[in-house]
């Protein structure tokens, strides 16, 4: 596309070229001939101008500032309504062009999200992208918000030297929700304000406007886009020139000796005087994860008492942001307000994302009120991701749903909403199955059936029942139940137990060949505060077991003895550390029986089932699993587990070797031991779905 001015020059050049080719001087031509030539030139001019105007109206961008129409004038009502009327119901994208030396073809209206081209001098492109996506995208656009958006772009794209750039808004159709800005150089002025010892927009920082919170709200809720990822086909995008290389910051010393760093949480806390005597790092109205002392220990050796350059200032901001992010507070923005720095004291404004609303989405079988009640953060609280992760893990204990958290822009500036995106299913399941986990005296085959109820009486409790039997329904039968109840204090109460009956085949028919087993257990799980990507919890519990045989837990000779009551206290710890390519789990238990306190709990009762066993004992169990994802969906599983006891235990408490959960290829409990160590490694193929 040729610019209209260029077309004008082409027409005039043609006219004078025609004049020079005439053998007769121009003044000797007849008036009629001259009038015909002038009319011909004027006709060509208007034809070209009309074509240019039509071409320009069809494009969203142009080739040079010499013909880009500015819509900032009140005579052009498209982007400047008389009142603060709505310009676009939903702003879907912002495209910023900083290099207009080459032509940009149409198609920019298809670029949703934030896109910037040719902003080589803008040091804050990433921060600008985050703030735009957080505060403006997917929000209505009116005149007031347009002016604030232009001011924010101008502030963040200010060069180190010279005044802030001018943001042009060429005439455009906003019906598609895509807004175009063009950054133009402002006229240079010799009377530019600012001194060497004053932080301003000319030194890579920003001036504060009347409502900076609306412009510099923390970035959250924007979907991450991989580098080079394109949401539509490549041929739908305009052909854009490659941006010029970025120029590095000049390592100019801004503060010869940084005496103090003051972090403030609001604009009202910024001081213009009375802080020259400060020395060290000070925090005013900012929630520092880990405490202010921890921040001082990390930052003081790096910056306090040393010169602060432009590079150092950027490094300081990056380290502060990394500090918050590493401690699960990612919704944070750091500003450098205009200030006097002659005294060697630097003030930084830390804007922490505040929670707006919590809302559930996608759930069908779980009430929104129930899901939202799991989030402990309240409206106006700082967004601490440790709490969010902990609450998310707590609500995902229910096996009938999966909930993920998405941060979305809040209705008010500086706020972030939490959306609980849930995929759930009908909270009731019937199941049947068959397996070979039995022992030889009662047949190895097992038939089973049961149900799971995932929302008992609407309280989000889970109740399960299972019936298990040998194929003849005589040698073995068992009924087991489990009830899990999440408590309002973010703890979980688990009750489980069962009863079993055995009638094994024995070589001596006259001997007793029927037995039973009863168990009732309690576990009280206490989730601990997560650390980084590590979730863990403590568990306190109690077991009661009563039996008169060893059939269920041994491949050896069948033993029927006295009735035995076993009671023990249980202390447990388990954790899970999940990363992109691996997952590690750790489970440990310490079990302790203090001695006899019930009938049928004497040592002779214990010894009728196991020689040298007693009613007081202590033993511990530890299991660690590490799964590594490798190529083509395969994984490598490494398992280590063991047990250590102070004396002989009953078979129900011994470490069983053999079976699918210990040594594959061997029958269940081919070997029992009080003290044992098992190391295992498996190469697993991808999961195959048969249905």
pLDDT in tens, 292-324: 999 999 999 999 999 998 888 889 999 998 898
Residues 188-231: pLDDT tens digits?
A: 444 333 333 444 333 333 332 333 333 333 333 333 433 333 23
Q: What is the mean pLDDT of residues 459-482?
A: 96
Within-domain flag for 449: no
Higher pLDDT, residue 270 or 331: 270
525/670 same-domain check: yes
319/171 same-domain check: no
Helices (H), 22-124: 31-58
361/333 same-domain check: no
313/217 same-domain check: no
Q: Which of 352, 379, 405 is the last residue of a domain?
A: 352
- CATH number of the domain where residue 591 is located: 2.40.160.50
Q: What is the mean pLDDT of residues 676-691?
A: 90
Range of the domain at 331: 253-352
Q: What is the mean pLDDT of residues 521-549?
A: 92
Within-domain flag for 74: no
Within-domain flag for 228: no
108/50 same-domain check: no
212/117 same-domain check: yes
Q: What is the mean pLDDT of residues 490-516?
A: 85
Tokens representing 2 are: 């040729």
> What mean pLDDT is reported for the chain?
77
Within-domain flag for 365: yes
Position 689 confidence tier, pLDDT thresholds 50, 70, 90: confident
171/275 same-domain check: no
Q: Which of 58, 78, 98 is the last residue of a domain?
A: 58
306/364 same-domain check: no
What is the reported pTM? 0.60
How many folded domains does the chain comprise? 5
Distance CA 31, CA 19 (A): 14
502/634 same-domain check: yes
314/360 same-domain check: no
Q: What is the mean pLDDT of residues 138-152?
A: 80
**Residue 593: per-residue pLDDT:** 97
Higher pLDDT, residue 336 or 359: 359
- CATH number of the domain where residue 363 is located: 3.10.20.310
22/119 same-domain check: no
344/360 same-domain check: no
**How do beta strands 308-309 and 253-255 pair?**
antiparallel
Within-domain flag for 80: no
Residues 19-72: pLDDT tens digits?
A: 444 443 434 444 454 455 555 555 544 444 444 444 333 333 333 332 233 333
Tokens representing 399 are: 């096996």
Residues 91-126: pLDDT tens digits?
A: 888 888 775 444 344 455 567 888 887 766 566 677
Q: Look at 54-68, 177-191, 323-337, 519-533 and tell me which has the smallest mean pLDDT.
A: 54-68
Checking 645-648 for CB contacts under 8 A at 24+ apart, the result is 645/617, 645/618, 645/619, 645/620, 645/674, 645/675, 646/617, 646/618, 646/619, 647/612, 647/613, 647/614, 647/617, 647/674, 648/610, 648/611, 648/612, 648/613, 648/614, 648/674
Cβ 172 vs Cβ 123: under 8 Å: no
């Amino acid at each position: 596309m040729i610019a209209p001015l260029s077309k004008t020059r082409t027409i005039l050049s043609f006219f004078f070229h025609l004049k020079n080719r005439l053998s007769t001087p121009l003044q000797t031509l007849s008036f009629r001939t001259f009038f015909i030539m002038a009319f011909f030139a004027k006709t060509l001019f208007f034809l070209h101008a009309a074509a240019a105007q039509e071409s320009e109206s069809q494009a969203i961008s142009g080739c040079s500032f010499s013909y880009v129409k500015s819509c900032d004038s009140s005579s052009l009502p498209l982007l400047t309504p008389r009142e603060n009327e709505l310009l676009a119901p939903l702003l879907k994208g912002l495209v910023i062009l900083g290099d207009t030396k080459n032509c940009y073809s149409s198609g920019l209206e298809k670029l949703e999200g934030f896109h910037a081209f040719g902003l080589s001098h803008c040091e804050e492109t990433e921060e600008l992208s985050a703030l735009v996506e957080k505060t403006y995208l997917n929000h209505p656009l009116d005149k007031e918000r347009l002016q604030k958006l232009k001011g924010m772009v101008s502030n963040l794209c200010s060069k180190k030297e010279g005044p802030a750039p001018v943001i042009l808004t060429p005439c455009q159709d906003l019906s598609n929700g895509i807004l175009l800005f063009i950054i133009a150089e402002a006229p240079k002025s010799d009377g530019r304000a600012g001194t060497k010892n004053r932080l301003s927009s000319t030194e890579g920082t920003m001036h504060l406007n009347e409502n900076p919170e609306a412009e510099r709200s923390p970035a959250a809720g924007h979907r991450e886009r991989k580098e080079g990822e394109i949401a539509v086909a490549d041929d739908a995008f305009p052909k854009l020139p490659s941006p010029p290389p970025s120029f590095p910051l000049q390592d100019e010393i801004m503060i010869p000796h940084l005496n103090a760093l003051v972090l403030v949480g609001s604009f009202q806390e910024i001081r213009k005087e009375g802080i020259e005597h400060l020395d060290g790092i000070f925090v005013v109205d900012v929630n520092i994860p880990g405490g202010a002392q921890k921040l001082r220990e990390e930052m003081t050796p790096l910056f306090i008492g040393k010169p602060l350059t432009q590079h150092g200032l950027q490094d300081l901001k990056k380290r502060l942001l990394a500090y918050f992010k590493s401690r699960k507070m990612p919704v944070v923005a750091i500003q450098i307000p205009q200030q006097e720095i002659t005294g060697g004291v630097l003030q930084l404004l830390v804007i922490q994302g505040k929670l707006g609303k919590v809302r559930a989405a996608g759930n069908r079988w779980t009430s929104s009120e129930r899901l939202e009640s799991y989030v402990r953060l309240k409206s106006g609280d700082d967004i601490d991701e440790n709490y969010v992760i902990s609450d998310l893990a707590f609500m995902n204990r229910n096996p009938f749903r999966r909930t993920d958290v998405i941060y979305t822009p809040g209705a008010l500036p500086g706020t972030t909403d939490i959306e609980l995106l849930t995929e759930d299913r009908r909270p009731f399941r019937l199941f049947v199955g068959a397996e070979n986990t039995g022992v030889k005296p009662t047949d190895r085959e097992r038939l089973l059936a049961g149900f799971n109820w995932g929302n008992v009486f609407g309280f989000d409790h889970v109740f399960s029942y299972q019936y298990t039997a040998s194929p003849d329904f005589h040698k073995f039968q068992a009924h087991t139940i489990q009830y899990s109840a999440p408590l309002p204090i973010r703890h979980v109460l688990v009750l489980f137990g069962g009863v079993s009956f055995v009638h094994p085949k024995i070589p001596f028919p006259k001997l007793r060949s029927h037995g039973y087993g009863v168990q009732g257990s309690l576990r009280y799980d206490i989730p601990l505060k997560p650390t980084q990507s590590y979730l863990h919890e403590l568990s306190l519990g109690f077991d009661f077991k009563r039996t008169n045989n060893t059939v269920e837990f041994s491949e050896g000779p069948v033993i029927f003895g006295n009735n035995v009551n076993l009671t023990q206290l249980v202390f447990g710890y388990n954790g899970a550390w999940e990363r992109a390519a691996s997952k590690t789990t750790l489970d440990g238990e310490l079990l302790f029986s203090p001695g006899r306190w019930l009938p049928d709990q004497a040592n002779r009762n214990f010894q009728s089932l196991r020689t040298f066993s007693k009613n007081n004992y202590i033993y511990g169990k530890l299991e660690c699993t590490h799964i590594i994802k490798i190529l083509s969906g395969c994984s490598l599983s490494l398992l280590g587990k063991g047990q250590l006891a102070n004396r002989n235990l009953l078979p129900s408490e011994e470490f069983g070797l053999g079976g699918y959960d210990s040594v594959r290829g061997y029958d269940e409990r081919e070997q029992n031991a009080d003290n044992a160590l098992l190391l295992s490694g498996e190469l697993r193929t991808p999961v195959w779905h048969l249905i």
